[in-house]
Structure formats: C-alpha cells, structure tokens
Structure 1
Amino acid sequence: MQMSDGRYVGITIGPIYDTLLEASSPAAMWFASSMFSDMTGQLCNEIDEQILSAEHYIGKMYSPYYDRNEAKKAGAVGKYHDRIIFYTTMPEEPLLGKLEEITIRVKHNIGQIVYDAIGEGDKKDDFFQSYLQVHYMFLDESEVKGNIIKEISPYLDEMELMRTYPNASSYNPLRILFAGDTNGSNRFVRESKFFKEREADETLGENGKNLSSIETIAKCGEETAGNMKKRKYYAFVAADGDSMGKTLEKLVQDPSNPADKTLEKFSQACLHYTEQAAQLINEFSGMTIYAGGDDLLFLAPLENKEGKSIFELCYDIQKCFRNTINKEINHDKKEDLKTGVPTLSFGIAMQYYKFPLYEALAKARSLLDDAKKTAGIRKDSMSVQLTKHSGQTIKFELSNEERGLVKAFIEEPYNDTKTINSIVFAINTYRPVFETLQTLAQQEKINREAFIGAWLNLFDNINQTQYSPYVRDIADNHYQYIIKGIREAFDKWDELMCNTQISESEFKAEWKKIAEQNDLIKEYLNERCLVPENGTSDIQWEIEYAKYEEKWKKQNNHSTIKDNRLHLLEAVLRYKKFLSEEGSY
C-alpha cells in the first residue's frame, strides 16, 4: 500500500436551479432533477470503481451515501444531491487525469439520454460538455482540522459561481424536451431512460400518472373539485436544514480508520430522510421535484382530500427530518449532540395554477431565505405567501413549533367568510387598541380572561353577538399561541410523558426544552407535581429556567416580533377566509 499523504476531493454539479427555471411543467422539473441525480450517481459509480477501489491506494466516499448495490435501484425521486466529497491517497496528477476522463464520459452519457428522448439519438455536439457543470477541488489531509464536509463547503459554494455556457444561439435540446411534442404533452419525458427505469415505482403511479399537471396537483388528483378557490391554487415548497454547520462540527471522521463511519452515517441519514419525505409528499397528493441531502423542493395542494393542510405536511416532514438525523447519527452520542439536532425551515409559495411555474420556484426560494432570518433570532420556521389571481398577497411567518396555531385558526371548522371579514376589518380599524392589549398581555399586566373580555367588548354590536363564541376562540388562541405560546408546549409534555422508549438523560434534555417556553409552563408543571414515571423528579426548575429566561425575554421584547404578532393573526384569518371562498379565481 502506497504511504503517501492523502487528500480530500470536493465536486459540485450543476446548474440545477437554472435548469429547473427552464422547465414549464412538473414533469419537466421532475426530469431535470432526475437528470442531475443520475449524473451524480454515475460520477459516484466511476469514482468508486476507478479511484476509491484502485489498487495500492486508500479511498472513502463521505457524501453522498453511496452503496454500489443500492445505486442500481432507481427510485422515482432522485436520491443524490449536487455535491460529492471523498478521500483518496492517489497522487494528485493521476487523480486529476482520472477525474477529467470520468467527467467527459458522464456528460456524454447524460446528453445521449436527452437526445434519445427527443428522437435525435444520432446528434453529436458539445452542448452538454459546456452546459453541464462539474467543478472539483483538492484539500490536503494536513489542511483539514475538523469535519471535511463543513470545511470544504465554502470552497464549493464559490465554485458554483464558475459557469461555462454553450453559444447563446446554440441549439438547446433540453428546451425541446421540456416543451414536449406539438400538443404540449410530456411525451419526451415519458420516453426518456430516466422515466422508463422508474415507471414501475408506485410513487409515479400507473403509467406515470403522478407526473401531474399543476391543475391536477391543485385538485388533489380529483376529476372534479367543486367550486372552491383553494382547488385552483397550489403550493411550491422549498425546505432546507438549519444549523447544519453546528451538527457537522461534532462529526469528525478519521480517514485512516476503516471502522470509523461517522460521516457515512450522516450521509445515509440524509438519504433516508429524503426517501421518507418523498413518501409523505406522495401520500398528500403532492409531487417531489428535488430531494438531496437536507434540501427539498416539492409541489402540493393547499389541502389534501382529508382536509389536512400543507402546514401539517411540513410539520410531518420536519418531524421526519429530526427523528431520522437523531436516530442515525446521535444514537451513541445523545448528550453531546442533543442540542445540535438540526431543524428545517420552509418557504411556501402559493399561487394560481395558471401562473408560471418558475415564478413559484423563485418565490419559494426567496421565502425560504426569509424563514431562516425570521426576526433575526430563530430559524426552524416557515415563511408563507399566497398570491391571488388578482395580484393581492397574504404573507406571514410562523415557527414550526406553532403548528397548533394552524390547527386552531386554519383547520377550525368555522367557515363564515362574512364573520371572518368583519373580524379582520375590526383589527385594522382598532389596531392601536389591539396592539395595546397585546403589549399588556405580554407584560402580564392583564391575564387571559381579561384579554378575552376586552376582545369581546370590541365585538358587542347587536349584529356581532351571534358570533361571539368564535371571537372568544380567536382571542383565546391568539393569547395562548401567539402571545404566550404555551399550548404547543403542553402537547409536547403529554407526548413526552407517554414516551417509554427514551433514556433518563434524553428525558431530561426534552424536559428542559419544554421549560424554555415561559414561566407559565413552569408554573403549570409545578402546580400539578407532574413526575414522569420513566424519568426523574429532581430537576431544579429555577436553575433550568434561568438558563433560558434571558433568551425568552429577548424574543418577547424584540420589536419585530411584537409588531408582527397582530399581523400574523390578521394574515392567518385572511388565509382562513380564502380557504372558505368559492369562485374561479
């Protein structure tokens, strides 16, 4: 075995986003995503055979998780993301030559698949050699002090900006494939190798029927969906992991130790997450466009056939992400990594089904950026914007932890649009009064019942008394969810009490998370002397609460959050009204 210094190699593949923007249908977007996933898979296969398995050298793939046998199984959703990171002791000069040969060959293979799909298999040109981007860089083993994925990523981010382009006037076979035949159908997509290798997958449906049109996705696949406006709109969702850097910092692997598989486990966890997320989306009557690493792009109806909201789907995906990462990389490091389990943020762009798909994609990515910057304090959020046919928008942000807010306001069965309109009008008319009530409640100068009573006094007109129970519910939920944020914590407590599968140390960690909500939760638990059967009762609440008190006060006193809370209530009610409306637009 050659005893030379090793080196890490990082490869970035593209241009995924630019190609998705060219697509005008869900099927075309699916093809583009599959194409780049297949490209990464082919690169991994050749790197594995020609570099990592080369005689006399040591080699190991870190990302994506690659298993030669599993790679032969083509799933409906591309399993590989746009970056490859591996280690090898092969010297730089032969390594560079191997990579150049592999890259040219894989680009040619991808191009041939596209030409065959559009019936021009004999065409030979250099379009794909210029269009497809494969950039790579080396880092000597001595230069890497921590997690290689984290340390090499900034360099790959910069390399993604390096672009080569085909001649501006050149023939673009991808545009022909995306446009379909003269009838605008997805015939070329269905005739591609990517589709034929996957058409038996249940996620695509019989004969690929789940490669749906936007209209079909908005209607949940139903032939007739009534005259509800919500069935004329769809959601384009972008999701991305938060605080991944902090998680990666704790995952360091020794390349000289074959038994150390720390990073492979992390990559495998990401792969399992995207597979499970794609299944959740399919069950919701949605369609996954891209699933790679911790990134996710998908289309979905605003509600599924059972009335489950897109927000609940996002929460299920969030829960899937946390559970998968926690299970597969933290199982032997619970205490070290418990606070580093990453979360997801979402950008959710909702728009009329006839609006251009690329607009929704761009908006979803922009909203995702907003979600990661919510109030400058927290990630783990979703930023939502509904763009109506008229151009009017409804936008709001909320934490993933506030899913109870969605249940209380949006999924609540009260659907009288006139009443909701009246409440929204009152909030706008008496905004200074509502803001004062909100501030007094935050400062605990009025309690819950006084807050609700003040709301009811603002709706005591003889024509409004008929819906005072609904006003009471809105005021109560606004107080508990938006101002105090405690009901969700109670739900978490109940779940924790029923969980007999976690250790004492895990239970303590989760109990601490509940304590950070606010002092009402501490009081609630102390008054009831809640002692878990599967944990301990000796946690010192005052000490634990003090750790989080300053952070909580900062959040409650942050002006942006204060200002946005009444806006959040108003926006959610307007969205609720939209879901109840009938009409074509």
Structure 2
Amino acid sequence: MRYTAINIGPIIGTITMARKPRELWSASYLFSFLMECLIKELKVKEKTILSPASLDKVQKVGLYPDRVFVEDTEDDELEDILSNALKEFTQVTGIGRDYVNIMYVSVESKTGVDVIKDLNRYLDCTELVNRPVDDKSRMNVLNLIQEKNNSALFKRAFGNPNWNFPFLAEIATDKLSKTGEEDKKVLWMKYRDEEREKENNSENPEKIEDEFYQKIKVDFKEEYRSYYKYICVVQADGDNMGKIVSALSNKRVKDLSTALMQYGCKVSKMIEEYGGVPIYAGGDDLLFFAPVVSGKDDVENIFQLLSQIDECYQVGVDKEIEKIGRPKDEKGNLIHTTLSYGLSISYYKYPLYEALRSALDLLFGKAKNVVGKNAVAWCLRKHSGSGFTGVFTKDDSAGSIYQLFKLLMTFTVDDGLVSAISHKLRANEDLLNMLRDVNDENRIAAFYDKIMEEGNSGYIELTRRLLWTLMNDRTGDGQVETGDILSKMYGMLRIAKFINGEGDSDE
C-alpha cells in the first residue's frame, strides 16, 4: 500500500513576524486552518487519515499540527486535493500558494510498519529546502496577522472579526478581575476596556500598557505585586511520543491521534480558566501565555497549572495508550509518555520573540536533556536585569526536589532572609564541599544550626532539606559542583519568593 505525508509551512518564518500575542495566535491559527482545509478535502475523497484526528466544531485555538499522514493516495488525485484545500483557504484568508508551502512524500509498504517514522524522516529532509517568498506575499501575511479589526481569522475562530484579543498586561493582571471586592473587579474591567479601545486606535501599544499599569498601581495599591508586570510563556512537548508512534500499528496511531486531539481541547479550556491564552495545542505540543498567579482557587500559580496539565495529559493520553496497547522499547521496557516544559517568565516589555525563543531553548536545550525527561526548565528574567534559572524533574513524591520547591512557594518571607541564606551558604562553600564528601545529613543539620541564627525556623528547615536533597540528586540536569548546587538553590528560593509575592520596589 502507498502511504503519504503532507507538510505545510513556512511556520517558523511566519511566527517570527509576530510582535504581540494576537499576532502570534494569528500566525499559528493560519496554518492550523490550512491543515483543517486539507483534512476536510481528504475526507471528501474518503481517504483514510492516520493522523491527526479531526474535529467537526470550530475551535478557538490551533489544534492541527503541520503534518498529516494518509493511506492510499496517487499523485494526480493528491494534487486535486491540495488544490481544492488551498482554494478554500485562500477564499477565507487571502493567502495563496505564492506564500504557503505544501510538500508531500510517499512510500510503499506491504505491512505499514515504520511508515510514519520513515515519512517523518523524509519530510525532515524536504524542510531543509527553503523556498523564496517575495516581499509582496510576505507583506500580505504580515497584514493578516497584524489585523486588529475585521480579521478573517478572528471571524472564523471566535465568530467576531473584531474580537478583543487579550493584551499582555491584561493577561498578567487577570487575577485582579477574579479576586477581592466586587467594585475592584469592575474597576479592573473598566480599565481593561479603556485600554482595549485605545489599542485599537493607537500606533504605540506599549504606551497604552504603561498607562494601564499606572492606573492599576494607584487603585490596587494594597493588592499590587511585582508579578503583575510579568508574563509566562510556556512551551511543552510530549516525551517519548516519537518512539510510541513508531511502535504502534496504523489502527492504534489513529486511536492515539483521537486521544491527543481530545487532550488539546481539554487543556486549552484549562489554560483559559486559569487566565491564560492558548496559542497552539496540536498533538503533544503546547504553547501558551499565562499570568504568574491566578485567581482560580485550586490552581493559584503557574507551577500548579503545569501540574494540572500533567494530570490531564496522563489521564487523557498516557492511560489511553495503556488501553490501545502500550508498546515496548528495544530492551523490552514499556514506553510511557510524560510532558516536559520550557517556562520563560519575563517583564511585559521584554521582546515577545526573545521570550518565545527562551521558552523553546529551555524546553529542548535543558528539560529534554534531563535523564528520564518529565522535567520543567524555567527562567525568571527580572526588569532590573538580574535573572534566575533552573531545571528539575517533576517527581512529586515526598521529599523530592519538586515537592520541596512547591512547599517553598507556601512561605511568605522577607527578601533579606532569602539573601542571607544564600550569602551564608556561599561564604561556607569550602566547608560544604567537605561535608559532601562525608555525606551525612546530621552533619548538614549541625552546619545549618551553626550558621543560620535567625528568621523563619520552618522556612530555614525547609531550605536545609532542599540543600541536602540537591546535594544528593543524581538525576536533575547533571550539576555536581557545590557552587552549581548553590546557584540552583538560590534560583529556586528567588522564584518561589517572586511567585509568593514581592512589592513593587522589587521589580
């Protein structure tokens, strides 16, 4: 039988044009819609689609990936399908073949074994060929994704061409619209609506957001925290999914595609309820913006949201793999899938593309390189220029690094205490090196009793447990030097303090 894979683009080149959340959403949704048109035409021709699954209802976020895998297609027939799909796409968006790139490869196989793996490899090679795009075509796309009013993409996704897409400051301060006194909530919505109206008629949106924050800081003086001026950019990717797909039969691949599509729908709603904005939720990939903290009672901060997404993925995807038949690796071990994250937290004026690139680098440069994966790599980039970063596995068992980190976020402590703990540990780094050789937790406890003389005793004890756990960690990101451990610990203390709440003076 003949198997074909179709790939669409240029996705990266289009996404890099985006400078605002709505532009990034539009760039992503543009290609999800193109894939939707292709799938629709394939179904009209009654072709068997292995992946992705399809939806009958229009969604508010891009849920379709950039590749589709099909059984039994001939070149002539395929060209007709592509032509019809592109025609519908162009009628809605005004973008045609002079910009979009549609490539396909085919293989023959009697058994269907490894066909998706082979097709992916061939498509990876074809993507290395960059097709030139003229300035006029590029400008047409730029105008489309920058459209604030009468957007064809907004009309299709939201049913309103003038949809008010959230701006960064609106996302970052979402908690103020959900907590506290009712008149304060109404006031926040009044300021939000005023800034939306100004943004629609302004060529300087950054100034608009500055004015929004000036109002917020005056009228929400008691509630205001520095994290309201920071935005989370999150990239997530499923671990071991490639291995799983390669080991499944075609029938099971279809079942898995359905599970992934349902997961994408659920997790998008979850992000919205938290106060975030999903940009893309296709397959096992996820990209979204979110506030650092939320007004949602059971999911109060970004790390709790990641845990909720993890649970959704485990129930909706990994357990579904168990039902359809969990494959084994070459050593005979059952293959499980988890999620790894790149989390970039940056000041609202920080360039959007840089924040996106940071999240992507954190995901694939750090989180994915942790032994066993299932990790989160994060970076907090402060307005002052300072920055803190870290990475750890999401082992939530008692006494784990991740569990201790979550406990840190429950403590309200003075900034001076965090700095004092770090300073005293740094000043005794040589002694810590010797204690590491002894590897006796009682010695570490005695060391702590001697040098930590003041402050919140519960918090100090928690930092001692964290230090001991970090010193004996054999997974993590491979850090072994005491100085590296202290840097990692200080980063965790700082981001926990930041999430728990810092005053405006700490920006």
Normalising by the smaller structure, the TM-score range is 0.7 to 0.9
| Contact 1:104–1:129 (CA under 8 A) maintained in structure 2 | no
Secondary structure of the 2:105 match is strand
- Residue by residue over 1:404-424, the C-alpha shift from the partner in whole angstroms, topping out at 9 and shown as x without a partner, is 133122x22222111111112
Cα distance in 2 for partners of 1:415, 1:323 equals 36
Cα distance in 2 for partners of 1:265, 1:479 equals 45
Question: Which has the higher mean CA deviation after the structures are superposed, 306-315 or 333-342?
Answer: 333-342
The one-letter code sitting in structure 2 at the alignment partner of 1:437 is L
Match of 2:149 among 187, 190, 202: 187
Cα distance in 1 for partners of 2:373, 2:346 equals 24
Question: In the superposition, relative to structure 1, how do residues 270 and 556 fare at CA in structure 2: closer, same or farther (>3 Å)?
Answer: closer
| Residue equivalent to 1:354 | 349
| Contact 2:31–2:66 (CA under 8 A) maintained in structure 1 | yes
| Residue equivalent to 1:286 | 276
Deviation (angstroms), 1:266:
0.9
| Residue equivalent to 2:285 | 295
Deviation (angstroms), 1:562:
6.9
Root mean square deviation, CA, Å:
2.8
| Residue equivalent to 1:408 | 407
Deviation (angstroms), 1:556:
9.0
Q: Which runs of 5+ in 2 are unaligned?
A: 177-187, 189-215, 396-400
The one-letter code sitting in structure 1 at the alignment partner of 2:301 is S
- Structure 1 residue 573 and structure 2 residue 493: aligned? yes
| Contact 2:52–2:68 (CA under 8 A) maintained in structure 1 | yes
| Residue equivalent to 1:392 | 386
Cα distance in 1 for partners of 2:142, 2:158 equals 23
Secondary structure of the 1:340 match is coil
| Residue equivalent to 1:158 | 125
- Residue by residue over 1:109-137, the C-alpha shift from the partner in whole angstroms, topping out at 9 and shown as x without a partner, is 3333234xxxxxxxxxxx63122111100
What aligned pairs does 1:89-168 form with structure 2 within 5 A after superposition? Answer: 90=73, 95-115=74-94, 128-142=96-110, 146-168=113-135
- Residue by residue over 1:290-325, the C-alpha shift from the partner in whole angstroms, topping out at 9 and shown as x without a partner, is 111111100011121257221221122122212222
| Residue equivalent to 1:583 | 504
The one-letter code sitting in structure 2 at the alignment partner of 1:387 is R
- Structure 1 residue 178 and structure 2 residue 145: aligned? yes
| Residue equivalent to 2:157 | 198
Deviation (angstroms), 1:564:
4.2
Cα distance in 1 for partners of 2:247, 2:109 equals 18
Cα distance in 1 for partners of 2:125, 2:13 equals 16
Question: In the superposition, relative to structure 1, how do residues 425 and 197 fare at CA in structure 2: closer, same or farther (>3 Å)?
Answer: same
| Contact 2:235–2:363 (CA under 8 A) maintained in structure 1 | yes
The one-letter code sitting in structure 1 at the alignment partner of 2:8 is I
| Contact 1:77–1:291 (CA under 8 A) maintained in structure 2 | yes
| Residue equivalent to 1:241 | 238
- Structure 1 residue 479 and structure 2 residue 441: aligned? no
Secondary structure of the 2:116 match is helix
Question: In the superposition, relative to structure 1, how do residues 264 and 373 fare at CA in structure 2: closer, same or farther (>3 Å)?
Answer: closer
Deviation (angstroms), 1:28:
1.8
| Residue equivalent to 1:232 | 229
Secondary structure of the 2:135 match is coil
Cα distance in 2 for partners of 1:264, 1:399 equals 30
Which of these two proteins has the greater Rg computed from alpha carbons?
1
- Residue by residue over 1:234-254, the C-alpha shift from the partner in whole angstroms, topping out at 9 and shown as x without a partner, is 11111111112332243123x
Deviation (angstroms), 1:354:
1.5
Cα distance in 1 for partners of 2:496, 2:463 equals 12
Match of 1:418 among 394, 416, 419: 416
Question: Which has the higher mean CA deviation after the structures are superposed, 269-278 or 399-408?
Answer: 399-408
Secondary structure of the 2:98 match is helix
- Structure 1 residue 363 and structure 2 residue 363: aligned? no
Secondary structure of the 1:386 match is strand
Cα distance in 2 for partners of 1:332, 1:173 equals 45
Cα distance in 2 for partners of 1:188, 1:221 equals 29
Question: In the superposition, relative to structure 1, how do residues 33 and 169 fare at CA in structure 2: closer, same or farther (>3 Å)?
Answer: closer
- Residue by residue over 1:2-43, the C-alpha shift from the partner in whole angstroms, topping out at 9 and shown as x without a partner, is xxxx20001111122221221222122222222211111110
TM-score (norm 2): 0.81
The one-letter code sitting in structure 2 at the alignment partner of 1:317 is I
| Contact 2:422–2:486 (CA under 8 A) maintained in structure 1 | no
| Residue equivalent to 1:309 | 301
Question: In the superposition, relative to structure 1, how do residues 436 and 230 fare at CA in structure 2: closer, same or farther (>3 Å)?
Answer: farther
| Residue equivalent to 1:544 | none
Secondary structure of the 1:131 match is coil
| Residue equivalent to 1:453 | 446
Percent of aligned pairs with the same residue? 27
Cα distance in 1 for partners of 2:172, 2:433 equals 37
Question: Which has the higher mean CA deviation after the structures are superposed, 10-19 or 325-334?
Answer: 325-334
Cα distance in 2 for partners of 1:557, 1:355 equals 27
| Contact 2:444–2:468 (CA under 8 A) maintained in structure 1 | yes
Secondary structure of the 1:65 match is coil
Question: Which has the higher mean CA deviation after the structures are superposed, 74-83 or 24-33?
Answer: 24-33
The one-letter code sitting in structure 2 at the alignment partner of 1:364 is A
Cα distance in 1 for partners of 2:234, 2:477 equals 31
Deviation (angstroms), 1:578:
3.2
| Contact 1:240–1:295 (CA under 8 A) maintained in structure 2 | yes
Cα distance in 1 for partners of 2:65, 2:376 equals 23
Cα distance in 2 for partners of 1:214, 1:453 equals 47
- Residue by residue over 1:162-197, the C-alpha shift from the partner in whole angstroms, topping out at 9 and shown as x without a partner, is 2323223656122223334xxxxx2243xx2x3234
Secondary structure of the 1:348 match is strand
Question: In the superposition, relative to structure 1, how do residues 299 and 561 fare at CA in structure 2: closer, same or farther (>3 Å)?
Answer: farther
- Residue by residue over 1:369-428, the C-alpha shift from the partner in whole angstroms, topping out at 9 and shown as x without a partner, is 1234445x331111111111233211111112143133122x222221111111122223
| Contact 1:219–1:301 (CA under 8 A) maintained in structure 2 | yes
Match of 1:84 among 65, 68, 73: 68
| Residue equivalent to 2:339 | 344
| Residue equivalent to 1:528 | none
| Residue equivalent to 2:202 | none
| Contact 1:456–1:468 (CA under 8 A) maintained in structure 2 | no
